[in-house]
């Protein structure tokens, strides 16, 4: 079974989309095995998005991600990484397919409601960034 990390970003929290996002994932066979509300500071957001350091959007992205609380979750299921990304839609909501979370709810390419890991290695890094072993559950 594959695992991935998803985040309801600060804009998703402001738009009251926590339940909507979790329901979408669960309705498509993903199991929530870790879940919490956090508030990243700038340094924590910079560490999480370290792969994007140096890109033009890095400063604004990490300010946005540290602007308020987020909900972080570990999802488990067959093909969890690609399934989560399919349900999220493309990074830019204008490019995202009809019916995806970002198409439906995102404000713009930055404030796009939800995060999902993009590969097994990034999923492993991102899960351990927010969760220790005692915070992930088998059921
Ligand atoms: N982002 C942005 N401008 C861009 C590309 C990305 O503000 O031109 C933000 C956006 O919030 C995105 C995050 O940076 O979700 C991470 O970018 P990535 O390319 O990894 O997109 P994702 O994997 O989230 O679809
Ligand atoms: Mg990404």
Per-residue pLDDT of 43-59, as tens digits, reads 999 999 999 999 999 99
Q: How far apart are CA 132 and CA 74, in angstroms?
A: 11
The residue segments making up the domain with residue 71 are 2-135
Lining residues, ligand 1, CB within 6 Å: 52, 57, 61, 91, 109-110, 112, 115, 118
Residue 114 three-state SS: strand
**CATH number of residue 118's parent domain:** 3.30.70.141
Per-residue pLDDT of 93-121, as tens digits, reads 999 999 999 999 999 999 999 999 999 99
**C-alpha dihedral sign at 120, 122, 126, 132:** positive
If one residue of 109, 117, 125 were mutated to test the ligand 1 pocket, choosing by the most ligand atoms within 8 A of its CB, it would be 109
CB 87 within 8 A of CB 17: no
Residue 76 in tokens: 């488990």
- Residue 115 catalytic? yes
Predicted TM-score (pTM) of this structure: 0.98
Instruction: Tally the domains of the chain.
Output: 1
């Amino acid at each position: 079974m594959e695992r991935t990390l998803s985040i309801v970003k600060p804009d998703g929290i402001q738009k009251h989309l926590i339940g909507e996002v979790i329901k979408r994932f669960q309705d498509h066979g993903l199991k929530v095995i870790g879940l919490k509300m956090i508030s990243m500071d700038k340094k924590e957001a910079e560490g999480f998005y370290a792969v994007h350091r140096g890109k033009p959007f890095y400063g604004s992205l990490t300010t946005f991600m540290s602007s308020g609380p987020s909900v972080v979750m570990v999802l488990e299921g067959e093909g969890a990484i690609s399934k989560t990304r399919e349900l999220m839609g493309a990074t830019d909501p204008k490019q995202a397919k009809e019916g995806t979370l970002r198409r439906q709810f995102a404000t713009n390419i930055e404030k796009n409601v939800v995060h999902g890991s993009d590969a097994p290695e990034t999923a492993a890094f991102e899960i351990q960034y927010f969760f220790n072993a005692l915070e992930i559950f088998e059921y």
